[in-house]
Amino acid sequence: MGGVANEQLAIEALQAWGIESPGLTLVKERENAVYEVDDRVGQRYALKLHRHGYHSDQELLSEYQWIAALNAAGIHVPEPLKSIEGSPLVHVCLDACDHQFDLVPWIQGEPLAALATDGSSTDELQQIYTQLGRLAAQVHTQSSHWQLPNGFLRKAWNLEGLLGEAPLWGAFWELDALSSGQRETIDTARRRAELDLRKYAASPEGREGYGLIHADLVQDNVMVSDGILHLIDFDDAGYGWHLFELATALYFEREAPNYDVMLSAMVAGYREYRALSDVQLAQLPLFFLLRSFTYLGWVHERKGSPVAADLTPMLITGCLREARSYLDQNPA
């Protein structure tokens, strides 16, 4: 579904919050459809139509519980608003399909990505990535201390979720666009990564550095409003290693001229709020490799779509870069 059909669903869903005849503007339509909502009486919201079948109701309600706990800890996250009936999750049924919606207040600001442009100075990049590091550490500290509510359920970016036979984002080694040589390199790196991840997971550093993470801490998912960072889009949030969070935040900057500045700033910001040992940091290349695998799985699961066609060559190049570098630095 998409386009007009999604808009009709959105209009029907908004009635659950008492919003009639809204102004709707499509902001994003990829995994989810997100609309800017004008209620015609001076309030603005973001309405999300969740990807069908990705999350159960229990997983989404668990997400909302974590968001509320993050806000209580002083971390700014838009919190879903309860409907007239008292639920933050609203269902609209159409053609035997059950569609899930939630609604949050609109954040008046701009994404962090808009501040980190090609023309950004070294000082500006240091400031941005220091802030990002602080935010990651604050999230991880909160999740490490939080007592999970009964029934809390989210997916896990663990060994099975990353490297098992059915990874969360798809069997990356089966991507049709891979040549036989490329597939061999990726298969070799996958086997090595599995051995090394098992060792890290069993180590004190690996056990300590695992918990609830945002799992998509890219600049587009951090909004800046009056100097305050607001973390959005918890679609992929779940259990995972803290290093996977850092790798996600830095992955697409790996070839940037100022990458070392970004890395150093993010680590420094993180360490202001949470310990990150050199032993842990030494495993970051492993998590860059794992993150590259997930992106190949993502386009594999969407083969035939225009976005997958556009991204696949770049993601293959990035994955091979990470695989070859990791194998060179970690010979068997």
Alpha helix segments (H runs only) across the chain: 4-14, 57-72, 122-145, 159-163, 180-202, 204-208, 242-250, 259-273, 278-281, 284-301, 306-329
Once rounded to an integer, what is the mean pLDDT over residues 136-158? 97
If pLDDT is split at 50, 70 and 90, which confidence band does 118 have? low
Are 206 and 241 contacting, i.e. CB atoms less than 8 angstroms apart?
Answer: yes
115 with 89, same domain: the answer is no
Q: What is the pLDDT of residues 6-15, one digit of tens each?
A: 888 999 999 9
Q: Which of 94, 78, 84 is nearest to 10 (CA)?
A: 94
Q: What is the pTM of this model?
A: 0.95
242 with 314, same domain: the answer is yes
Find the CATH number of the domain harbouring 36: 3.30.200.20
149 with 290, same domain: the answer is yes
Domain boundary among 74, 90, 106: 106
125 with 232, same domain: the answer is yes
If pLDDT is split at 50, 70 and 90, which confidence band does 1 have? very low
Quickly count: other Cβ atoms within 10 Å of residue 28's Cβ.
Answer: 14
If pLDDT is split at 50, 70 and 90, which confidence band does 113 have? confident
Q: Which of 50, 57, 220, 196 is nearest to 128 (CA)?
A: 220
Q: What is the pLDDT of residues 218-247, one digit of tens each?
A: 989 999 998 899 999 999 999 999 999 999
Domain boundary among 106, 121, 148: 106
Are 173 and 190 contacting, i.e. CB atoms less than 8 angstroms apart?
Answer: yes
CA distance 6 to 298: 23
Q: What pLDDT is recorded for position 252?
A: 94
Q: What is the pLDDT of residues 62-76, one digit of tens each?
A: 999 999 999 999 999
CA distance 169 to 7: 27
95 with 130, same domain: the answer is no
- In this structure, are strands 238-241 and 210-213 parallel, antiparallel, or unpaired? antiparallel
Domain boundary among 44, 77, 106: 106
28 with 142, same domain: the answer is no
CA distance 134 to 286: 22
Total structural domains in the chain?
2
Q: What is the pLDDT of residues 255-297, one digit of tens each?
A: 988 999 999 999 999 999 999 999 999 999 999 999 999 999 9
206 with 239, same domain: the answer is yes
90 with 122, same domain: the answer is no
187 with 93, same domain: the answer is no
212 with 262, same domain: the answer is yes
194 with 302, same domain: the answer is yes
Residue 5 has pLDDT above 80, yes or no: no
Range of the domain at 16: 4-106
Find the CATH number of the domain harbouring 196: 3.90.1200.10
Computed over every residue of the chain, the mean pLDDT equals 93
Name the strand (E) or helix (H) holding 213.
strand 210-213
77 with 155, same domain: the answer is no
